Structure 1
Amino acid sequence: MRLHSVDRPAGAFQRPVTADHLRRISRRVFGRDAVSAVELGLGMYNSTYKVTVEGLERPVIMRFAPEPARQFRSERELMRNEHATVPYLSAIAPLMPRVIAADWSHELIGRDYLVQTLLDGVPAPERLPGYPRPAWTSYFRRLGEITRTVHGVRGPRFGPVGAPAYDTWSQAVAGSLNEIAADVEAAGLDGADLRAAADLAVERHAVLDEVTEPRLLTGDLWTVNVMLAADAPQPTITGVLDLDRTWWGDPAADWTIRLAAARQDERLSFWETYGEPDRTPEAVWRSMIYEIRHLGAVRLERHRLGQAGRVRESYGDVAAVLAKII
């Protein structure tokens, strides 16, 4: 079979799979040989391939998680978390890839993998810049609708959809901050600022525990995980993908909300369909705790990508937020 992999430096976090792996998985799932495969390079965590299979009309997507030993504890089994979330995403099912097969057995390869249908469209980072900026408002309005739909889904307990589960929101937030801090420390970095935020979450638990109803958070929904129609006159979302960081909690803690609020530009139209954010003093305090959690996760990603300078910058960013809430 023909295989084209992304050229990455030695030691890169994302590791390729072999043609033999892809052939054996194709035979297990479809009973047919894979003809060709192209690795897709947009993501920064899983390894993703578009695979043409003998006798199938359309290519399929095969996604491979990192080997278990290479996963941070705060990012453990994200692919399994994504798969566990599928039953809760029926309201946006027409936009989601369909799971053809999921395999956690590690019999064919020592990594979790998913086989999914190929979504129509073009990755939004490639297509959106082709529209004039004023046209982007329709894109952000639609993104607001999709996010609001996901946030409308109610869950049983707080925390990642797969596990662990917490009885209260403060416990989930403190637990997540401590897990990220442990990963930072295991990487040889200082996690004291994140542990200070976790302690604040425990100390001021009553403010966090005003959030009493777990709602579904997308975890990572933004332009990089959106597909657009190739030739539509206005940006038209045809699919969303890679919702592997979903968890149950306060919608204001979602990565999508953070990015929607990050700039005063076309993305202001997001709020037209999503609804205005809560700006009470308690909600603002919670948002700063969430920001520290986001900054901790970003610190880990920067470390994984070898961005030492940006890792150092993250300490000043966290310190500035901590100073406002202590």
Structure 2
Amino acid sequence: MEFQGIQRAAGAFQEPLTAEEIAAVCRRAFGPGTRVVSAVELGLGMYNTTYRIDLGEGRPVVLRVAPEPGRQFSSERELMRNEYASVPYLTSIAPLMPRVLAADFTHELIGRDWMIQSLLDGVPAPERLGGYPRPAWRGFFRQLGDIARRVHDIRGPRFGPVAGPGHATWSEAIVVALGRIAADLEGAGLDAADLREVAAVADRRRAALDEVTEPRMLAGDLWTVNVMLADGAPEPTISGVLDLDRTWWGDPAADWTIRMALARPGTERDAFWETYGAPDGSPSAGLRARIYHARHVGAVRLERHRLGNADGVRDSYDEVRALLAGLRG
């Protein structure tokens, strides 16, 4: 086997597999006679460890390996299982998604969850979008708005992560989510008093949160970093979406996609709303948006800490402080 890994510092969050482990996984998935021609670790993503696998016939496949259970935060626990549970609901965008070819959550081979998926056509959007003239980016964001709308139109049975645990009300799902992020931050040695205060505000303002009565699918992490573009197309054309492991049921306005679409008004991103539909501008929606924004910042703080980004962690406190000023008012 030709094996190419990525050199990482000792103790890095993403842990590689050995060539022998990759061969064992492929034999488990495709049969004892399976031969791996090459395995190349991909640098995409910051959570799972991912390999492009050539089996010597047909298209290469993608192996994704979750972190060991003991390295997962409680607010990010078993994300791969969550994605697996989401696939049957996401039929409206199925042609854009990789197909699951095999999955193993038994930990019998490597002590970690793993999944093998088909390889999507195209080029990662962060590598190609900048090569198009900026006016053409509007078409990209119109496509993204259409995809987000199709996801958000999917109705679910309860609030919370798709794989569970579920909650009867949206307010309960939000309060629990904020509490888990805060506990993870404290477990990592970081101050989470600001997130605890946001959770207390959410608890007091349950009535506003519970105006959301119908659980809808939230993609969780759908933005340019998780989108593929058709290679060589005259204008940016979305050919695939990936890494839908943070899906949950709730208010579409709480999705990361909506946060990013709102982040730079007056730019090409405004075209997102042409296909998605206008955001809710009511006072209660504004209150909810501040709570959702704070939750996103808390999750980002946790990720920045994992990546050793001390400046980013520090900046997150200023951002939540500004949100709390509005929430207190």
Match of 1:121 in 2: 122
User: How far apart, CA to CA, are the structure 2 residues paired with 1:214 and 1:68?
Assistant: 28
Q: What is the CA–CA distance in structure 2 between the aligned matches of 1:310 and 1:145, rounded to whole Å?
A: 31
Partner of 2:26: 26
Alignment match, 1:269: 271
Question: Which secondary structure state, in structure 2, belongs to the residue aligned with residue 301 of structure 1?
Answer: helix
- 1:129 Cα deviation from its structure 2 partner: 0.9
Q: Which of 20, 29, 38 is the equivalent residue of 1:36?
A: 38
Letter in 1 for 2:50: T
Match of 2:196 in 1: 195
1:176 paired residue number:
177
Residue in structure 2 matched with residue 236 of structure 1 by the alignment: 237
SS at match of 1:34: coil
| Counterpart-to-counterpart distance in 2, 1:82 and 1:28 | 21
Match in the other structure for 1:82: 83
Partner residue, 1:293: 295
Q: Distance in 1 between matches of 2:198 and 2:314?
A: 18
Partner residue, 1:251 = 252
Secondary structure of the residue aligned to 1:284 is helix
How far residue 75 of structure 1 moved from its aligned partner, in angstroms, is 0.1
Residue 313 of structure 1 and its aligned partner are, at CA, apart by 1.4
1:227 aligned onto 2:224 = no
The one-letter amino acid paired with 1:13 is: F
1:213-242 CA distance string (max 9 Å, x none): 000000000011000011110101110000
Structure 1 CA distance for aligned equivalents of residues 22 and 259 of structure 2:
37
- Structure 1 counterpart of 2:300, one-letter code: V
Unaligned runs of 5+ in 2: none
Structure 1 alignment gaps of length 5 or more: none
1:149 aligns with 2:150: yes
Amino acid at match of 1:44: M
Give aligned-pair identity as a percent: 66
Residue equivalent to 2:326? 324
Report deviation, 1:58.
0.7
* AA matched with 1:202: D
Larger mean Cα displacement after TM superposition, 79-88 or 6-15: 6-15
Letter in 2 for 1:28: R
- SS state of the match for residue 3, structure 2? strand
Matching of residue 8 in structure 1 with residue 15 in structure 2: no
Per-residue deviation at 1:27? 1.1
In 1, the alpha carbon distance for the partners of 2:196 and 2:70 equals 24
| TM-score after normalising by structure 1 | 0.99
Distance 1:120 1:6 in 2: 23
Match of 1:166 in 2: 167
Give, in angstroms, the shift of residue 297 of structure 1. 0.1
RMSD: 0.7
The separation in 1 between residues aligned to 2:39 and 2:23, in whole angstroms, is 10
Secondary structure of the residue that 2:37 maps to in structure 1?
strand
Output one character per residue of 1:240-298: Cα deviation in whole Å (capped at 9) or x when no partner: 00000000000000000000010021111000000000010100010000000000000
Alpha-carbon offset, residue 29 of structure 1: 1.1
For this pair of structures, how many residues does the alignment match? Answer: 325
Equivalents in 1 of 2:295, 2:306: separation in Å? 17
Residue 314 (str. 1) matches residue 291 (str. 2):
no
Letter in 2 for 1:79: M
